[in-house]
């Protein structure tokens, strides 16, 4: 009896020891998998950042050249009513004369100059509307065919439009190039999706902040490069040339896009099934079946869908007012303070540099805390900063009107800080909230990330298309101070709605998205 009992105790001890060894082995495997996945995610995020920086530099080169390019096309064909540009300018001039019948707008009294500004605004709105249409399609295609393949197709479209830009000897060909550009620019959207694929709830905001840094650096350097081409080189080919005005700038932009395409082709892996592929060595990893069930649970969850709809509405409303106020800022400094190109560059550069510092030194350090609370806090801070910035610019305009001073007060630079805070936080963190809504980092279904971010970007692009039209209308009909006061009040209301309508926690616990069988196994 004693011998039997002793044997049973030894057997039990051996079983416990083996169980502990197995548990320890599983933990080691899980830790190794997590470390390997995190390292690969950081590597892919760096690749996306470098590629996106090249893309934004290429995209922003044309921005300071657009007004001068339109002037060059006008010199070539604006007086010929049989051309598209001639007919368009004639129609715009007729509309301007009708409006002047019931307003004393100083802007519209500038005549042909105002017509070109309006034409440029229309082209910008068309670009954003095309993005609105194509963004959901790009998102769904990337969910089905993969991020890398979809991104390379977008890059091919970008290269095509830039080649057309180089040889745009007429306004019609230039307009066609811009249409192709609007339909092809999915790089930012897919970059956000790739980062969502390779990060989890604790690192999502940090990864998304890199997108914001790329934007800030690109929008600081890109327009400066474009300004170089506008000041150092004339709009070559203003006669019967077969090349576009500032064709050298188009060639430089093309070189950047070709470098980006080659870099992505050789460096970027497919990330659609990133978490499944990197977790295949983990015996306790979530199975493919459970991921599908988690996705179905998320998609059928009415609360999650309601949160996503509200986030889309907030994105539209915020960008409607923010992009409109941002668009009129350079008009304000020219109209009120007669800023030179150099002064305009300093102001925009200040905003870009401040935004870069904030994103690199603050936003990336405030990681996406559990359940997305860190993201919501950053969005709220950004919206408050935007409100205060718009209010500061309104006070600057009121001060200028009272004193008739052509030098801006410090309120203008305070407003620039507010713009920088908003640029550094709001959209990037909203992207993170959309990608994480209703999903836990370990069971998040990557299969609908592209769709979510595509719908989200589409809503924002509608705001970007309509906002400048609204802001310019208010500005030129009621004055700069009224325009920015309206913007400040509107963004403050959006902030209150965001805080009240969007929950602090947009992610769910792991057990909420697991299948019943997995939940039972966990309990046992």
What pLDDT, in 10s, does the model give residues 480-514? 899 999 999 999 999 999 999 988 765 544 433 33
Query: What does the alpha-carbon distance between residue 190 and residue 301 come to, in Å, rounded to a whole number?
Result: 25
pLDDT at position 199? 86
Contacts of 489 by beta carbon, 8 Å cutoff, 6+ apart: none
Q: Would you state the structure tokens that stand for residue 438, as one six-digit string?
A: 């209703």
Burial class (CB in 10 A: 0-12, 13-18, 19+), 232: exposed
Query: What does the alpha-carbon distance between residue 373 and residue 507 come to, in Å, rounded to a whole number?
Result: 10
- Residue 363 is given by DSSP the state I
pLDDT at position 346? 81
pTM for this prediction = 0.77
H or E stretch covering 45: helix 2-60
Angle at 368 between CA 286 and CA 506, to 5 degrees: 70
Give the torsion through C-alpha atoms of 289, 294, 295, 299, to 10 deg: 140
Low-confidence ranges of the chain (pLDDT < 70): 1-30, 32-33, 99-114, 230-241, 276-300, 341, 367-373, 404-406, 439-447, 505-524
What pLDDT, in 10s, does the model give residues 152-175? 999 999 999 999 999 999 999 999
Domain ranges within the chain, ordered by starting residue = 43-278+285-515
Query: What does the alpha-carbon distance between residue 142 and residue 308 come to, in Å, rounded to a whole number?
Result: 19
pLDDT at position 513? 37
> Domain 43-278+285-515 is in which class?
mainly alpha
Contacts of 60 by beta carbon, 8 Å cutoff, 6+ apart: 218, 219, 221, 222, 223, 225, 226
Among candidate residues 151, 141, 144, 138, the one with its CA nearest the CA of residue 263:
151
Among candidate residues 312, 331, 379, 385, the one with its CA nearest the CA of residue 132:
312
pLDDT at position 173? 94
Helix, strand, or coil here: 103?
Answer: coil
pLDDT at position 373? 64
pLDDT at position 57? 93
Cα separation values, 346 from 31, 69, 223, 248, 422, Å: 49, 23, 11, 24, 19
């Amino acid at each position: 009896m004693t011998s039997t009992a002793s044997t049973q105790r030894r057997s039990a001890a051996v079983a416990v020891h083996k169980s502990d060894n197995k548990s320890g082995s599983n933990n080691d495997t899980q830790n190794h998998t997590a470390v390997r996945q995190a390292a690969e995610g950081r590597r892919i995020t760096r690749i996306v950042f470098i590629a996106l920086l090249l893309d934004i530099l290429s995209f922003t080169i044309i921005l300071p050249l657009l007004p001068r390019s339109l002037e060059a096309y006008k010199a070539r064909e604006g007086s010929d009513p049989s051309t598209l540009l001639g007919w368009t300018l004639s129609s715009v001039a007729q509309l301007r004369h009708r409006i002047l019948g019931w307003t004393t707008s100083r802007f519209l009294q500038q005549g042909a100059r105002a017509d070109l500004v309006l034409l440029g605004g229309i082209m910008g709105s068309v670009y954003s509307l095309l993005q609105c249409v194509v963004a959901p399609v790009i998102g769904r295609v990337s969910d089905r065919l993969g991020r890398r393949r979809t991104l390379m197709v977008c890059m091919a479209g970008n290269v095509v439009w830039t080649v057309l830009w180089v040889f745009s000897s007429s306004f019609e060909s230039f307009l066609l190039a811009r249409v192709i550009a609007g339909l092809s620019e999915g790089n930012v959207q897919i970059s956000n999706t790739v980062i969502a694929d390779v990060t989890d709830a604790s690192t999502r905001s940090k990864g998304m902040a890199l997108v914001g840094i790329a934007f800030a650096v690109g929008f600081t350097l890109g327009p400066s490069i474009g300004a170089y081409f506008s000041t150092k080189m004339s709009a070559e080919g203003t006669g019967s040339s077969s090349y576009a005005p500032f064709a050298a700038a188009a060639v430089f932009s093309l070189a950047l896009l070709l470098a980006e395409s080659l870099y992505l082709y050789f460096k970027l892996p497919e990330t659609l099934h990133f978490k499944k592929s990197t977790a295949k060595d983990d015996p306790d990893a979530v199975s493919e079946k459970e991921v599908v069930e988690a996705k179905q649970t998320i998609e059928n969850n009415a609360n999650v869908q309601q949160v996503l709809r509200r986030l889309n509405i907030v994105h539209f409303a915020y960008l409607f007012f923010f992009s409109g106020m941002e668009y009129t800022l350079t008009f304000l400094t020219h109209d009120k303070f007669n800023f030179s190109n150099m002064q305009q560059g300093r102001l925009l550069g200040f905003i870009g540099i401040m935004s870069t510092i904030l994103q690199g030194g603050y936003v990336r350090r405030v990681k996406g805390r559990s359940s997305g609370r860190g993201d919501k806090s950053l969005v709220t801070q950004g919206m408050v900063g935007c409100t205060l910035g718009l209010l500061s610019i309104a006070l600057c305009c009121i001060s200028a009107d009272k004193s008739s001073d052509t030098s801006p007060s410090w309120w203008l630079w305070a407003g620039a800080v507010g713009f920088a805070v908003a640029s550094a936080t709001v959209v990037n963190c909203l992207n993170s909230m959309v990608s994480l809504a209703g999903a836990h980092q370990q069971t998040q279904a990557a299969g609908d990330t592209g769709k979510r971010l595509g719908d989200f970007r589409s809503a924002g692009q509608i705001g970007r298309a309509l906002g400048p039209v609204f802001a310019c209308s208010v500005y030129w009909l009621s004055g700069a101070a009224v325009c920015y006061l309206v913007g400040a009040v509107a963004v403050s209301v959006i902030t209150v709605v965001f805080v009240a309508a969007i929950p602090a926690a947009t992610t769910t616990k792991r057990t909420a998205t697991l299948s019943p069988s997995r939940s039972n196994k966990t309990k046992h």
